[in-house]
Structure 1
Amino acid sequence: MKVYSVVGNKKKVTMETNGSLLKVVGNNCIVRVSCNHGEIEVIGNDCSVEVRDNYGTIQLVGGNGIVTIVNRWDGDRVQLVGPTNHLTVAGKRKGVPSYEAQLSPFSKNLDDVIESLFTFVMR
């Protein structure tokens, strides 16, 4: 499998058909692919990935990114890692759930949690 690597900020990559591994590393990058049969991996903040037909894999790592797909086909895979990333499929926006730390329902404040953890670690 061929590997295409692009490194740098504010890069724009356009491909008609991707049948290999396309790896883009940098902030504010834009990747446009008409038909994805391979793998697209984008690492950076404020990046955008636009795919018309996705048969392969798309992975976006970083914050404030957006993945726009017109058609998803069986067997494709999309993975978004980072805060405030968005996935848009056929014009419908799907937010990625973000997870936040929560206090135990049995504790009144943060000091109760820290004290119980501290005593557990010291044992």
Structure 2
Amino acid sequence: MAFERKYSDEVRTRSVETVLRRRQDEPRNRSIIREVAEEFDVGQQSLRQWLARYDDGSYDYGDDPSGAARYAGMSRADLIARVEELEQRVHVLDEDNRSLTRVVGLLSEQLRPSA
């Protein structure tokens, strides 16, 4: 069984916030994740997973059940851009869902025994 290292919620939150802040401050720096992982003594892959969870909205901020902490410090323009991005994702997912529903309907009709 593989060794699994646990990190505190504070370390997770601070490292994710540090990456996000540095991405804004240093957009050309391609080694931010490695540098922040070293700074907080966490695995690069763990940090990447936390960032992916942050991006998809499933990141748990511990004592903040609303998740509002993830938007702290963002400008109004950034918040509006994030809302537009999420609305676009919802639109794409809705289209995908409708397409999949149609495909399932067609397949189920083909699988029905003919009378």
For normalisation by structure 1, the TM-score amounts to: 0.29
More contact order relative to length (CA 8 Å, sep ≥ 6): 2
More helix by share: 2
